[in-house]
A and B are shown apart, each in its own frame.
Chain A
C-alpha cells in the first residue's frame, strides 16, 4: 500500500529528473565546447656548345644600371594598427579593494572566466557570451573601482624583420602608396611575394644551400659574410675563390639569403639558408655555357658536413639550346635540386636557356610594384611564374661601393626576379625536405596570385609567387 502511494506520489519524478539531467548535460557540453574553442585559439625550370652567352649580362639581364643609395636614417615603422583579442581584457582594480570585492565586481560583468596574474594584480578576463570586448571595456572604464582596463593586444612573431633597409624592399612587403624606390612610384598594396606571412612558417635551414651560379659573391659583405658557406669555385679563372668582381652575383645572393633581422642592411627571402658561390661570369659580365655546365655538376655534387645544395639560382641565360646544358640540368634535377632561371630581358617572345628547359627548370618573369609584368620581361610558353624584378634593392660588393654610399643598390631585371623564386623554393625544401624537385616546382606554380590575364599566360606564367599561400596551412572549410 505504502509502495503504491510512493509510486503514485512520485510517478512524474523520473521524467522530471530525466529532463533536468538532459538540460544540465546540454549546458555543460556547450560550456566545455566554448572553453575548448578558446584553448584552440590560444593554443594557434643538341650540340656541345661552348659559345658565349649571347650578350653581356649587364645589358641583357639588367636593362638599367644599379642605382646606389646613400646612408640612410633609422627605419620607419611599418603600417599596421594594433590588434587585440576578441575575447580577453586586462583589468586592474584600485589597490584598496580586497580580492573578494574585485572578484565580485568582475562577476557582475558575467565573464566566461577570469584569472589573476599575481604580483601585479591584473585580471585576465574572458568576456561572456552575448557581449563584446569593446562593450565590456567601455563599461569597465566608467567603473570607479577600476584603475585601468585595456584590450589584450596581440603579439607578433618577429617576422617583420628589423633590417634597416627593409622598408625599401617592396618585393617582400609592399605597403602600397608612394614607394621608397627610384622615381618614388605609387605601388599597389600587397603586390609582393607575401614573405612576411611565409616567415611565420619557414625561414630556411642552414644545411640547405642555395648555389648562386653567377659572377661570384662578395663573401666579405657585412650582410652576406655569415651566409656564405665557402669561398666557392671560380670556373672563369679556375680557382677556389668565387669573389665577385662584377656586382650581379652579389646582388642576386642578397635577395636570396642576406642576413636578416640583424638590424642592418636588407632582408633575404630564405634567411636561414646558406649560399654557395659558383663564378661563371667574368668581370665584364660575360660567360660560357661550358662554365655553367661544369658549375651545375659541381653544385649538384657539393657537400659540406650536413650541408647540401637544394636549390640552384641561374640569373643568366643564352638564346641557343644545348644538349650538354640540358644534360647537366637533368643531372642536378635528378639529384633532388630545384633549378630556377631567368626568362631574359629583351621584352620579346622567347625564353632564354636554361630557363626554357621546362622539364627541369622554373622560368621566372619579372613583375613590378603594381603586379604588372615588366615590359622588358621575355615571354613564352615556358614562363612558369613571375616575381618582382623592378627596382629591387640588394647587396653589391663592398669593393665596388663608392665612398659615402652603402654597399647596397637598386637593380632591375628578370635576374632580380629569379632569386625571389630561388629563395621561395629553398623555404619549401627546408620545411618539406621529402618533396621532390618536380613537386616543389608544381607547388610554386600552383599557388601564386594570378596577375595579367586569368589563368596561365605566356607573360606571367601562373602568376606572381605567393610564398605565404604555399607555406601556411590551407584551411579546409565547409
Chain B
C-alpha cells in the first residue's frame, strides 16, 4: 500500500515537473503578449458527467461522478494563453470497491457521496499552422468527499459504516484548435492523464471496529478530449466537450460549460 502511494506521489511529481517545463515557454510568451493585450475575464458554469475506469488491488470498476463547477477564466491572453480556476460540488459514485481488510468485508454499492471539487486548467496556443493552432494543455482536478454514514442492517447488533472517498487527476498534453470558423472553434486534446485516489471506510459493529483505506488509480493513462467553443453572442461562450479514457475499461465523460465575459 505504502509502496503504491510512494509510486503515485513520485509519478505525480514527475508529471508536475514535466508540465511546468512544458508550460514555461508558454508563460513567457503569454506574459509578453499580456503587455500588448488585456486578458478577457470570464465567469463560467460547468456541468460534467464524469466516468473513469479505476483499479485497486487486482480489481477494476468505473468511478462515475456528476459534477457542477463554477469557473473563473482568463481567456485569450494575447491569443496564446487561457488560464482557469474552478471549484464546486462533485457527486462521485465509487460503487464496486471492496474493503476486504475490515473484520466484516464490505462492498460499496451506496451510490453518490457529496464532495468538494476544485482545480485549475491552463491552455497555451503555440504553433499556428494554416487554419490550425497547436499548443499545450494542463489540468488538475481534485475531489474531497465528505463523510457519509451507512447503517449495516441485518446484523443482530447495531452496525454502521462511514465512507470517505477522495481523488485527484492530473492531465497534460497537446491541444489543437481549428481557427478558421467564424463564431466557433473546435478543438482536440490528447493528453497523458494520471488518476490517484483513496477510499476510506470505517466499520463499527457494536464494539468491533475496523478501518481500511483503499488506494485507487486510473485504469488508463491517456485521455482524448474533443470539444467545440461557440461564441454565441459577444460575451457568452458555450463549450460542449467529450472526454474519452481509452483502455481495458473505456469510459466517456461529457462536459457542458457556459462562460460569461466581464
Interface residue B188 (Cβ < 8 Å from any Cβ of A): no
By a CB distance below 8 angstroms, the chain B residues around A25 are 49, 240, 242, 252, 254
The CA-CA distance from A474 to B108 in the complex, in Å, is 8
Interface residue A399 (Cβ < 8 Å from any Cβ of B): no
By a CB distance below 8 angstroms, the chain A residues around B240 are 18, 21-22, 25
Known: A14-B183, A25-B242, A33-B64. A473 touches B206 (CB 8 A): no
Are B61 and A443 interface neighbours, CB within 8 A? Answer: no
By a CB distance below 8 angstroms, the chain A residues around B157 are 446, 462
Identify which of B104, B150, B238 gathers the most chain A CB atoms within 10 Å of its CB.
Answer: B104
0 or 1 for each of A6-43: is its CB under 8 Å from B? (1 = yes): 11001101110110011011101100110010011001
Q: Which of A101-109, A142-150, A330-338, A447-455 contacts B (4 or more CB under 8 A)?
A: A447-455
The CA-CA distance from A443 to B106 in the complex, in Å, is 13
By a CB distance below 8 angstroms, the chain B residues around A473 are 98, 100, 105-107
Interface residue B208 (Cβ < 8 Å from any Cβ of A): yes
Q: Which among A13, A22, A439, A470 is the interface contact of B254 at CB below 8 angstroms?
A: A22
Interface residue B109 (Cβ < 8 Å from any Cβ of A): yes
Task: Write the nearest CB–CB distance from A242 to chain B, whole angstroms.
Answer: 34
0 or 1 for each of B208-241: is its CB under 8 Å from A? (1 = yes): 1000000000000000000010111000001010
Interface residue B110 (Cβ < 8 Å from any Cβ of A): yes
Interface size on B, residues (CB 8 A): 50
Q: Which residues of B109-163 have CB atoms within 8 Å of chain A's CB atoms?
A: 109-111, 150, 152, 154-157, 159, 161, 163
Interface residue A132 (Cβ < 8 Å from any Cβ of B): no
Q: Which among A201, A432, A446, A476 is the interface contact of B155 at CB below 8 angstroms?
A: A446
The CA-CA distance from A478 to B104 in the complex, in Å, is 18
Are A442 and B208 interface neighbours, CB within 8 A? Answer: yes
Please, which residue of chain A has its CB at the minimum distance from the CB of B59?
Answer: A43
By a CB distance below 8 angstroms, the chain A residues around B231 are 14
Please, which residue of chain A has its CB at the minimum distance from the CB of B97?
Answer: A476
Are A474 and B60 interface neighbours, CB within 8 A? Answer: no
Are B103 and A14 interface neighbours, CB within 8 A? Answer: no
0 or 1 for each of A319-346: is its CB under 8 Å from B? (1 = yes): 0000000000000000000000000000
By a CB distance below 8 angstroms, the chain B residues around A40 are 61-62, 96
Q: Which among A32, A435, A472, A476 is the interface contact of B163 at CB below 8 angstroms?
A: A476
By a CB distance below 8 angstroms, the chain B residues around A443 are 103-104, 205, 208
Are A442 and B230 interface neighbours, CB within 8 A? Answer: no
The CA-CA distance from A40 to B61 in the complex, in Å, is 7
The CA-CA distance from A471 to B103 in the complex, in Å, is 9
By a CB distance below 8 angstroms, the chain A residues around B182 are 3, 6-7, 10
Are B49 and A472 interface neighbours, CB within 8 A? Answer: no
The CA-CA distance from A475 to B183 in the complex, in Å, is 51
Are B103 and A476 interface neighbours, CB within 8 A? Answer: no
Q: Which among A6, A439, A455, A476 is the interface contact of B156 at CB below 8 angstroms?
A: A455
Are A14 and B252 interface neighbours, CB within 8 A? Answer: no
The CA-CA distance from A155 to B105 in the complex, in Å, is 24
Known: A14-B238, A21-B228. A474 touches B163 (CB 8 A): no
Other contacts beyond A13-B183, A21-B242, A473-B107: 7, CB < 8 A: A10-B182, A17-B230, A471-B105, A472-B105, A473-B100, A476-B163, A477-B150
Q: Which residues of B contact A (CB under 8 A)?
A: 49, 51, 53, 60-62, 64, 96, 98, 100-101, 103-111, 150, 152, 154-157, 159, 161, 163, 182-184, 205-208, 228, 230-232, 238, 240, 242, 249-254, 256
> Closest 7 interchain pairs by CB?
A14-B230, A25-B254, A473-B107, A442-B208, A21-B240, A473-B105, A476-B110
- Can you show 17 pairs from A to B with CB atoms below 8 A apart? A10-B183, A13-B183, A14-B230, A21-B240, A25-B254, A29-B49, A29-B254, A36-B62, A39-B60, A434-B101, A442-B206, A442-B208, A446-B205, A447-B156, A450-B156, A474-B104, A476-B110
